[in-house]
Amino acid sequence: MTSETFIHQTAFVEPGAQLGTGVHVGPFCHVGAEVVLGDNVHLAGHVSVTGATTVGAGTRAQAFAALGGPPQDSKHKGGRTTLTIGENCDIRESVTMNVGTDSGRGATTVGANGFFLAYSHVAHDCIVGDNVTLTHGATLGGHCEIGDYVIIGGLTAVHQFVRVGRRAFLGGCSAVVGDVIPYGMAVGNRAKLRGFNVVGLKRSGMARSDLANLRAAYRILFSPEKPLLESAEEVRVQFADSPAVIEIVDFITQRGKRHFAVPPLDGDDAADDDQG
């Protein structure tokens, strides 16, 4: 790594763009006038960074990534909106991320240390946390909120306005049309909740006792005998000493009436055991 900024002779950096130290702009790249590239950002060949886009230090974008393009929303009237990408993200080939809309948040926000595999897409007004992975072809609709450490499988589509809680896992080729609780695992078209992301939780160091609390709370939360919000308040009292359980309860209750991914009608919540 060099402290000198490099701009290939075939690249076009518009006047007004701000480039930090050690930035690499490869062949045939386009960097727009309102773009800010942090220190040591690396753009491989044919990368487009346009709009009011800020890219955090150490982020790397591979060939044909298109960052900061206009939102794909007919309600947008062309006002100035932004895209902010955090530090040390790995953005692979043909990834697309759009700025926000003037009828929405006005901003798309992507956290640090993300891994965005080829052809994945972050739409307008999304909020994406830190350490998130979008596998090949994973797609976020507008206004989605994705928590830290979420993994989204290949070719999975997340419907607009859907929330996905921290450390959840969405299986490949799924259509996710309802909110997915923190730590949850959802798979299918339309995606159903299949217990917890046990492998991810074990790798994160979660204690067996905490995982046992999650499983016990899950059975109460998604019992067909009571409405979800009523069960959530029961769980809040019963598991008041479990921060992980309370995180799920808060996620369910903090936004009023929402549509959630729930377990299959047969009530089989043992599917997470298949992960070991």
Dist. CA 213–CA 82, nearest whole Å: 41
Q: Is 73 tagged catalytic?
A: no
Please tell me whether residue 232 adopts helix, strand or coil conformation: helix
Q: Which one of 76, 121, 125, 200 is the catalytic residue?
A: 125
Beta bridge partners of 73: none
Which pair of tokens denotes residue 203?
């790798």
Q: Is 276 tagged catalytic?
A: no
Residue 151 has, within 13 A of its CA and on its CB side, a CA count of: 14
Which pair of tokens denotes residue 172?
């490949």
- Contact status, residue 161 vs residue 181, Cβ threshold 8 Å: no
Q: How far does CA 31 lie from the centroid of its chain? A: 24
Could you give phi then psi for residue 248, rounded to 5 degrees? -65, -45
Dist. CA 42–CA 186, nearest whole Å: 34
Neighbouring C-beta atoms of residue 241, cutoff 10 Å? 8
Q: Which one of 121, 124, 143, 159 is the catalytic residue?
A: 124
- Contact status, residue 111 vs residue 132, Cβ threshold 8 Å: yes
Q: Is 124 tagged catalytic?
A: yes
Tokens 């480039």 -> residue: 19
Q: Which one of 142, 147, 153, 184 is the catalytic residue?
A: 142
Beta bridge partners of 158: 140, 176
Active site members: 124-125, 142
